[in-house]
Amino acid sequence: MNELEYKLYIDDVIRRVETARLKVSEHHIVKIVAVSKYSTSGDIQKLYNIGQRAFAENKVQDLKAKTKELEDLPIEWHFIGNLQKNKINNLLTINPSLFQALDSLDLATELQKKLLAKEMTLDCLLHINAAKEESKHGVMPEDAINIYNTIQKECPNIKLKGIMSIGAHSQDKEVVKESFLTAHKIYEQLEGATICSMGMSGDFELAIECGSNMVRLGSIIFPK
């Protein structure tokens, strides 16, 4: 696609986000993170040229390659994938703006050690498996507040900013909605949390209506 086609696509997405957020409140601001895992650096550059600034990858090696190819652009990079312990140092070398998928106390402890050694801090979101799906990563909703508070207390180099959740994998809108409401309810109880990252291409309007203020959009922004 050329830049003009991208612009038409993203304008439509922005209109849909606007409509959904205004149903919540005119003061409810929603940030769009473009998930570029299906795309090339050339596509990212086109989207950057029409104003998109936040992009996300889900594999450390892809994040590394694309940050390098696009190093001249002041892009805000997010990492949204599962992080294996042996990739922590690689991720820290890239130093993303936000790591959205912190999903256990164990990983947090290991991450804290490496951050301390490098004298760095990292903004993170706690990944909640709100629908309790076995195939998914994330902490169980009933454990989330406790784990969040423990990380805040024991991992000073991890700066927790809120939560990330993936909507239930279901055709039933009520089931998906329930998973978003579960995650949002936890978010509201966390001290100092400002980011509630929920909603992907297939369910972002519903997520926003349930309180999301950050949507992670891939296929709808980078259509094939």
Ligand X SMILES: *Cc1c(COP(=O)(O)O)cnc(C)c1O
Interface with ligand X, residue 177, by CB under 6 A: no
3-state secondary structure of 81: coil
Amino acid sitting at position 169: H
In this chain, which stretch among 62-70, 146-154, 173-181, 196-204 interacts with ligand X, using CB under 6 A?
196-204
Number of shown-chain residues binding ligand X (CB under 6 A): 13
Residues 150-169 that bind ligand X (CB under 6 A): 166
Shortest gap between Cβ of 1 and ligand X (angstroms)?
A: 16
- In this chain, which of 23, 89, 93, 202 binds ligand X, going by CB under 6 A? 202
Smallest separation, CB 61 to ligand X (Å): 15
SS3 percent helix, strand, coil of the chain, rounded to 5, is: 45, 20, 35
What 3-state class would DSSP assign to 33? strand
Is residue 17 at the binding interface for ligand X, with CB under 6 A as the rule?
no
Print the binding letters for residues 52-81 with ligand X: x by CB under 6 A, - otherwise: ------x---------------------x-
**Sequence-distant (≥ 6) Cβ neighbours of residue 41 within 8 angstroms:** 65, 66, 69, 70
Binding segment for ligand X (CB under 6 A), chosen from 22-30, 43-51, 170-178, 199-207, is 199-207
Here the tokens at position 40 are: 């090339």
CB nearer to ligand X: pick between 24 and 200: 200
Examine residue 217 and tell whether it contacts ligand X (CB under 6 A). yes
Q: Hey, what are 103's tokens? A: 């999903």
Helix (H/G/I), strand (E/B), else coil: 148: helix
CA distance 221 to 216: 10
Q: Report the interhelical angle of 41-49 vs 60-69 (nearest 10°).
A: 60
- According to the binding rule CB under 6 A, does residue 200 interact with ligand X? yes
Instruction: Report the nearest approach of ligand X to the CB of residue 100 (Å).
Output: 7
Going by C-alpha positions, the residue among 80, 83, 183 that lies closest to residue 131 is: 183
Contacts to ligand X by CB under 6 A: 35, 37, 58, 80, 166, 200-202, 216-220
